[in-house]
Structure 1
Amino acid sequence: MSQKDAAIGLDAPPTTKPQGVGRGAWITLGALWFIYVLNFLDRQLLSILAKPIQDTLNISDSQLGLLGGLYFAFFYCFIAIPVGWLADRTNRVAVVAVACGIWSAATMACGMARNYGELAVARMTVGFGEAGGVPPSYAIITDSFPPGRRGMALGIYNLGPPVGAAIGIAFGASVAAAFSWRAAFIVIGLVGLVAALALILIVKEPKRGGLDPVSATDGPARAGFWETVRMFFSRPTLVLASLGSGVTQIVTYGLGNFAVLFLMREKGMTLENVALWYALVVAIGMSGGIFVSGWLIDRFTRRSKRAYAMLPAISLALAVPFYIAFVWAPSWPLALAFLIGPTFLNYFYLSSSVALVQGEVRPNQRVMSGALLLLVMNFIGMGVGPTYVGMASDFFRATHPENSLQIALYTLIPVYFAAIGLFLWLAKVLGRNDRQAGGAA
């Protein structure tokens, strides 16, 4: 490894057997995972309950897309930066707990909204709170697990979204069918408030960089804000990982925010169908993809860091035909069968990009770097995806009122190829860096 690489603390592929993992690390991972489940469950309720919310508040697809897209993303992405800066200097566990309390209270407010304006403010507040959940958790997990175990640990942590989405689908749809969509928001918010308090009591703050090589912990105890920002955006590997992930999320968030509405309005599903069958597809497909990707990352990045980019590129290429078949399918059972492919393959990028970024920076820059990764990929994906699909659906409704969402979802196909191209570009850069590091060693 070159002196430059050692100075910035690259998490090089291990050449020996990875260190063991203690019980405390698994408790930390489990607690943070549960918080992440609630994080994504709160976030997904809006898309799961889109149709009854539209019926009650009389809002359009464009307005719905803005709620789950640009409005939410603006607060979620940009608040993550000061939160990341704060967490790098304070107790990261406390930051996660306070954030969970804020987004849970805001989720309850969503259930009490009387009009679109009140719902929009509540959703933006959910985004404000959720900004403090994920970046500090990435750093806490990275400091709790040694190199060589982090890909799997982050893969397990990133099972939070599929599990949260699946529970949200099953619970939210069932409660909405039995009571009302408002009750689902209020109950989940109450659970989050209890979880925030429990986190403080269960999880201890790990030592920053305590499990890293000595060279990785060299440098000042606290990294400067602008120093970290300049470092992040000056390094092609970090920028390309962020852009590739962001473009991928245009598909995942665009599809995820409108899949239930599409299946109910244009394929004939009911809330009861959604609660069982759609929940199973998301639980099996997304969780399987994220878990398998974490295992593959740990396995193949020991040979070459190019695997951080090649695995997402290959998985997205394999997902394209399944996605096309899902949008085309004439019935909801057939559509769900094809949807298993994209839900399994669309999320390989997540654990890969997170593990790459966390391993490429110094321990005192991990929270900020995680926040910058989320800023780029979520502002692109979360900000553009749902907003675009909602507006496209309203645009096509004038000429295709029966299948406007189907046409809007078809227009996401070229985005897949843009994401694949960015990850192939990243693979080329990582391969060049591997060769340079090998020559300088």
Structure 2
Amino acid sequence: MAGGREEGIASARSARASDDRYAWLVLGLLCIVYVLNFLDRQLLSILAKPIQDDLGITDGQLGRLGGLYFAMFYCILGVPVAWLADRGNRVRVLTIACALWSAATIACGMSHSYGQLAAARMSVGIGEAGGVPPSYSIISDYFPSDRRGLALGLFNLGPPLGQALGVAFGAKIAAAYDWRLAFILLGAAGLIAAAGVWAFVREPRRGATDTRPVAMPEVAGEAASFGGTLRLFFDRKTLLLVSLAAGATQFVTYATLGFTTLFLMREKDMTLDQVAIWYALVLAIGVSAGIYLSGRIIDRRAATDPQIYGTMPGIALLLAIPFFIGFVWAPTWPLAIVFLIGPTFLNYFYLTPAVTYVQNAVAPRQRTLAGAVLLLIMNLIGLGLGPTWLGMASDWFKASHPGHSLQLAFYTLVPFYFVAIALHFASARALRREHSETAP
């Protein structure tokens, strides 16, 4: 009998180990999809110079392509797609979305006018609306809360890896061949990734890894609806402030991402080949390190210091400001790249805390919609307005400073740093109050 019990224990341990290995496999596949998601999204900014030279578009038009036009569809459609995913098969939604944005990326490479490119970019936004929220929810159901920060932190390495790979390979392909070929090849890679998700990822049981109720048990039984989830964000001050602080941060980060390659090439005299090496390295190392480290800190500190979700990104942004100013001011591209390491690392301490807090704060059946609401708030502010603002500012300064219009436009982002910092510290105070009110 003792032998049978030991065999049962060994079998249970083996099953848990197998489940753990599969969870990490799922995380790896979803991270690959997120890399392609962000790579396709940012390829426009990476290849801005050859696209401008070919199609004759202004900085303002470029900003609207990468910001407002894309965000209108990406943000708004993210909500109904998340609603569908919360009621149906999240893996199926993710697969269809990945196939759609990849096909639209191929269409970007086949564009020969500003109107065609704008329509293709909007289509990319439609597809990408179904990418991230289902992934957040799937990961949260494969990893328990004490490992969720690490898992979501690793998943959130998708943006820096996508941006870095886009700079490295997109710039190399464009320099050697043509900017259109870069879009076509990367879109084809996305279609292959969609097939991989469909074949290998199983839909997890909702709430499978939750060992305790969410912080607000009265919402746990509520049917997941956009109205109910949105009300939750406005009724619960911490959720709203964390989301607004993340959005204000993204205003700076998306504006910077949208125009850094063009800025380095046009005003710092970098070539596409140099961008493909040095800027790609800064992105791959700096952003990845910031996102990973913030996830580790959240896992270690959040249980005893809940205000860390706000204080950590606020302090990081405060430290980033002098490095950002140095990057914009630097007279040569090597010095600019050295200064850029600072904000590239410190600007991204906000993402994992925001995503982890929202996923931990709501009921399992609300996670996809809650992730969509978070992305709606963040991306309407950051993705929709950040690149649009910087492009418009550059066009405005071009009349008086034609050789340095982008440099002056970048300086206008400094006040937005302080807005984001103030919101992060406000969220920290709200988190501290909420914790003291709910503590036993």
Output aligned runs, 1:10-409, within 5 Å: 22-213=20-211, 215-216=213-214, 219-220=220-221, 222-409=223-410
RMSD: 1.3
Q: Is the 8 A contact 1:89 1:222 kept in 2?
A: no
Q: Distance in 2 between matches of 1:159 and 1:214?
A: 28
The alpha-carbon deviation at position 286 of structure 1 amounts to 0.6
Q: Is the 8 A contact 1:253 1:386 kept in 2?
A: yes
Q: Is the 8 A contact 1:151 1:297 kept in 2?
A: yes
Q: Distance in 2 between matches of 1:392 and 1:309?
A: 30
1:63 partner amino acid: Q
Which secondary structure does the structure 1 equivalent of 2:141 belong to? helix
Q: Distance in 2 between matches of 1:146 and 1:381?
A: 30
Where structure 1 has 5 or more consecutive residues not aligned to the other structure, the ranges are: 1-18
Q: Distance in 2 between matches of 1:370 and 1:123?
A: 23
Q: Is the 8 A contact 1:110 1:182 kept in 2?
A: yes
Q: Distance in 1 between matches of 2:20 and 2:182?
A: 37
Runs (4+) of structure 1 moved beyond 3 Å? 214-222
The alpha-carbon deviation at position 185 of structure 1 amounts to 0.1
1:363 partner amino acid: P
The alpha-carbon deviation at position 48 of structure 1 amounts to 0.5
The alpha-carbon deviation at position 220 of structure 1 amounts to 3.9
Q: Is the 8 A contact 1:248 1:419 kept in 2?
A: yes
The alpha-carbon deviation at position 214 of structure 1 amounts to 5.1
Q: Distance in 2 between matches of 1:123 and 1:221?
A: 36
Which secondary structure does the structure 2 equivalent of 1:88 belong to? helix
* Residue 89 to residue 369, structure 1, CA distance change in 2 (3 Å): same
How many percent identity over aligned positions?
Answer: 59
Aligned residues: 421
Which secondary structure does the structure 1 equivalent of 2:87 belong to? coil
Give deviations 1:241-268, integer Å, cap 9, x for gaps: 1110111111101110000000000000
Residue 13 of structure 1: aligned partner: none
Q: Distance in 2 between matches of 1:108 and 1:224?
A: 34
The alpha-carbon deviation at position 80 of structure 1 amounts to 0.3
Q: Distance in 1 between matches of 2:173 and 2:222?
A: 48
2:382 partner amino acid: G
Q: Distance in 1 between matches of 2:314 and 2:435?
A: 19
Give deviations 1:140-184, integer Å, cap 9, x for gaps: 101110011001100000000011111000000000011000000
Q: Distance in 1 between matches of 2:297 and 2:319?
A: 16
Give deviations 1:303-329, integer Å, cap 9, x for gaps: 121011111111101101100000000
Where structure 2 has 5 or more consecutive residues not aligned to the other structure, the ranges are: 1-15
